[in-house]
Structure 1
Amino acid sequence: MSEPLKVQARLAAPVARVRQALTDPAELRVWLAEHAEVELPERYEFWGRYTPEGDAPHQRLLHVHDDSLSFGWLLDGVETTTGFQFAADGPDATVLTLTQSHFDFAEAMSGTSIRGVLQTYWALSIANLAAHLEGKPLLPRTDFTSADLRGELVIAAPADKVWESLTDSEQASAWFGYPIGIEPWVGGRYAMGGFEAGYAAKIVDLEPGRRMSVDWGPTGVTNWELAESGGRTTLTFVQSGFDETNPPYGAWSGTVAGLFELRRFHEMTAWQPIWLAEEVPGLDPQPTF
């Protein structure tokens, strides 16, 4: 069995506030799941279209303390274990540590099990938890019942600045938290892991300052389009051209989670990523998006 997935993030709220957001069912319905019911110390459940295999609640509370929470989660016939730990980082910040068992990157690449989405599912969920705690608009949550993968994000920055950060290798590597090599022209490479990684997608459409499309092969084409109004930029993003019987939910969630830092990159004067790990959760030199 592979080692448990571990992700750490620094959240801009004290421990008690973070714990409340993770245990109050009304708040969970805002940032995590369509449906949630919590009755501590007996029950911790969430389900709905934004939850993998969310047709019904499949969680079983294992333990809850002031500084930790864990539950079993039945996915694809296997009970996985999810754990949260909270540690104060000064009076107004918390280091949240997530651990998740039964994640296998091979399953993420192949799409053979819903457990393959767990890494990027939690990356997007924690990004939305951070946005919720900061009072910012949420990122689009992944609808695991739909093959329509599209969303938009409003960024308080002019379109030329957002475009530069999407197409400049150095800036994109900074906000995405992982090396990215970009040749911003039609036919150019878009290389997660950098040009030396040995794998690159291909830019198949580009209108400078406005739109770009990147072809990732079997998992489809990522399309970004910018529109500016009043000094703010709406970024519309769509994934298309994939097998609709097996949508790339894991890759999509990772893409959207990365855009959380793109917004903060532009809107914070002293930007620092929330992620404490060296890599943004969900990324690999050969991603599926």
Structure 2
Amino acid sequence: MTTTDSTQSVVDTDTFTVTRSIHIDAPAAKVWAAVTEPEHISRWFGHTVLDGSGAGARGTMSFEGHGSIPLKVESVDPQRSVSYRWGNDDALGAPPAELDEQASTVFTFTLEPVGGGTRLTVVETGFEVTSDPLGNLESHRTGWDSELDKLVALLESA
């Protein structure tokens, strides 16, 4: 796995964001499919179902032992970036039944072709409106480390 120039996720408590950039030894088109097509997202992240495609599409992302999290595609710049809004757990740790756009976070994948591979950056924002801003920042920081490592392993082993 080629991750020597990849870093771990970084939390910025001033702006309530989590950021991570990784290098994937795979072409941008392959990475794009992995972060935008539900059948590919489901192979490395949570089981994803979307009703429709493009900005405005809605669906869910499910994680074993956690349940389904509501999801919405916020924006798409083909082959460059895609943003998703998703619900965050309530104060009791349960995923919301519906997406509350006032109490959710947005994560954006940005792709940049680099040499024969791709630099993928994820930035998740909006933690200040969640039920536990600092706890969610830390939880999502470790989550992005784990999930993006799975993505690199999947794409680089194919």
Given the two structures, how large is their TM-score scaled by the length of structure 2?
A: 0.70
Number of equivalent positions: 133
Shift of 1:230: 1.8
Shift of 1:253: 2.2
2:75 to 189, 202, 205: 205
CA distance in 2, matches of 1:193, 1:264: 21
Structure whose residues are more often strand by fraction: 2
2:146 to 235, 257, 270: 257
Give identity over the alignment, percent.
26
Aligned partner of residue 193 in structure 1, secondary structure: strand
Structure 2: gaps spanning 5 or more residues: 87-100
1:156 to 12, 15, 25: 25
Give the RMSD, CA atoms, in angstroms.
2.7
Hey, what does 1:246 align to over in structure 2?
133
Q: For the Cα contact (< 8 Å) 1:166–1:172, is it kept in 2?
A: yes
Asked if 1:174 corresponds to 2:61, the answer is no
CA distance in 2, matches of 1:198, 1:268: 28
Q: For the Cα contact (< 8 Å) 2:44–2:151, is it kept in 1?
A: yes
CA distance in 1, matches of 2:143, 2:80: 23
Shift of 1:170: 1.4
Higher relative contact order (CA 8 A, sep 6+): 2
Shift of 1:156: 0.6
Go from structure 1 to structure 2 and tell me whether the alpha carbon gap of 1:190 and 1:255 turns closer, same or farther (over 3 Å shift): farther
1:112-131 residue CA offsets vs partner (Å, 9 max, x unmatched) = xxxxxxxxxxxxxxxxxxxx
Q: For the Cα contact (< 8 Å) 1:206–1:213, is it kept in 2?
A: yes
Hey, what does 2:114 align to over in structure 1?
229
CA distance in 2, matches of 1:139, 1:259: 11
Hey, what does 1:267 align to over in structure 2?
156
Q: Where do residues 67-86 of structure 1 align in structure 2 (5 Å cutoff)?
A: none
Partner AA of 2:148 in structure 1: L
Hey, what does 1:214 align to over in structure 2?
84
Aligned partner of residue 209 in structure 1, secondary structure: coil
Q: For the Cα contact (< 8 Å) 1:239–1:252, is it kept in 2?
A: no
CA distance in 1, matches of 2:141, 2:104: 10
Q: For the Cα contact (< 8 Å) 2:112–2:120, is it kept in 1?
A: yes
Shift of 1:193: 2.0
Which contiguous aligned blocks of 4+ residues in structure 1 show a shift greater than 6 angstroms?
Answer: none
Go from structure 1 to structure 2 and tell me whether the alpha carbon gap of 1:181 and 1:144 turns closer, same or farther (over 3 Å shift): same
Shift of 1:210: 1.1
Q: For the Cα contact (< 8 Å) 1:139–1:260, is it kept in 2?
A: no
Hey, what does 1:109 align to over in structure 2?
none
Q: For the Cα contact (< 8 Å) 1:219–1:243, is it kept in 2?
A: no
Q: Where do residues 1-289 of structure 1 align in structure 2 (5 Å cutoff)?
A: 136-137=3-4, 139-143=7-11, 147-176=16-45, 178-182=46-50, 183-193=52-62, 199-216=69-86, 217=101, 218-243=103-128, 246-247=133-134, 248=136, 249-269=138-158
Structure 1: gaps spanning 5 or more residues: 1-133, 270-289
Larger radius of gyration: 1
